[in-house]
């Protein structure tokens, strides 16, 4: 099967990935020639011929690089985790969606199933060690193995109380550490035995640009996100020889659906952030999902112990 990447207009979010069973160069040329006027039209002989592109209903199939992979996404009911779950399923993975908001995770899982993917949801609370272990055990039992994990959970409710190191209540600091750092340690302890037993696999943690940038506020959040990078490097160095890779994505300001509902798409804060961003727009959950999918695929097997700033160029290192 050959994979063609066809350039599409700038308003498309993703490149069009076309699977051709035929090896004939004229088919490839015909597809490219049909990208005209901002539209993509299939040549008639490709639409109707037996050697045409693989037709899939429902899920937008972006490739097969995750086909057969079993992956758990922690914090998957909304935002980045939901977008990542969809992207992994689109690339062929079986996905366990774990979230403290179980109805939200179930909705995303049902959406994936309705489009032909394989997914189920389970409850997790990063502050509860037993629930964390149970979520990973259920995923491994359901799929018969685990090939990877995206650990994306955080307690965002404490963020508004995360003021500065002098005024911040220690209860806020402790809660942030409990969920945003200790919870990720619990997830790591739960998933590593499965990855090692499987002969290897990928771990991706969601860190933040706050781990790199000094700020007068959010000290607990930044400390926790910095800690994730240390945890990631520990896992990469300790179990790389067992086939395990560990990496971080560090998103910049990412406009999720809940943010749109609360603030619209052009709040003063978003306008101010865009002015500081060397890009034409702010982030979308799908931007981070694409990087996670790469890191959990075979394309990311020789990437280990790294942090990727997915922020439109706000932090350049």
Active site residues: 221
CA 257/CA 177 separation, integer angstroms: 26
- What's the token pair of residue 305? 């112990």
Query: Residue 251 in contact with residue 310, Cβ under 8 Å?
Result: yes
Query: Residue 180 in contact with residue 222, Cβ under 8 Å?
Result: no
CA 123/CA 125 separation, integer angstroms: 7
Query: Residue 45 in contact with residue 275, Cβ under 8 Å?
Result: no
CA 278/CA 313 separation, integer angstroms: 6
């Amino acid at each position: 099967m050959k994979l063609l990447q066809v350039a599409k207009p700038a308003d498309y979010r993703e490149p069009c990935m076309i699977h051709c069973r035929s090896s004939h160069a004229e088919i490839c040329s015909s597809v490219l020639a049909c990208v005209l006027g901002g539209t993509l039209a299939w040549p008639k002989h490709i639409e109707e011929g037996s050697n045409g592109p693989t037709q899939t209903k429902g899920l937008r199939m972006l490739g097969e690089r995750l086909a057969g992979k079993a992956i758990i996404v922690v914090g998957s009911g909304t935002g980045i985790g939901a977008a990542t779950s969809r992207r992994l399923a689109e690339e062929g993975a079986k996905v366990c969606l774990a979230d403290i908001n179980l109805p939200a995770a179930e909705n995303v899982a049902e959406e994936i199933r309705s489009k032909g993917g394989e997914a189920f949801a389970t409850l997790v609370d990063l502050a509860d060690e037993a629930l964390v272990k149970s979520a990973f055990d259920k995923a491994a039992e359901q799929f018969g193995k685990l090939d990877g994990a995206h650990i994306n959970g955080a307690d965002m409710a404490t963020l508004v109380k995360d003021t500065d190191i002098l005024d911040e209540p220690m209860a806020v600091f402790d809660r942030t550490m409990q969920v945003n750092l200790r919870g990720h340690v619990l997830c790591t302890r739960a998933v590593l035995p499965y990855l090692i037993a499987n002969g290897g696999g990928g771990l991706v943690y969601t860190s933040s640009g706050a781990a790199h940038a000094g700020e007068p506020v959010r000290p607990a959040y930044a400390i926790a996100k910095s800690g994730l990078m240390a945890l990631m490097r520990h896992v990469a160095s300790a179990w790389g020889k067992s086939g395990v890779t560990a990496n971080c994505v560090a998103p910049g300001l990412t406009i999720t659906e809940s943010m749109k509902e609360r603030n619209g798409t052009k709040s003063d804060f978003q306008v101010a952030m865009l002015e500081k961003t060397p890009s034409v727009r702010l982030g979308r959950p799908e931007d981070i999902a694409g990087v996670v999918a790469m890191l959990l695929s075979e394309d990311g097997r020789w990437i280990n112990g790294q942090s990727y700033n997915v922020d439109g160029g706000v932090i350049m290192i």
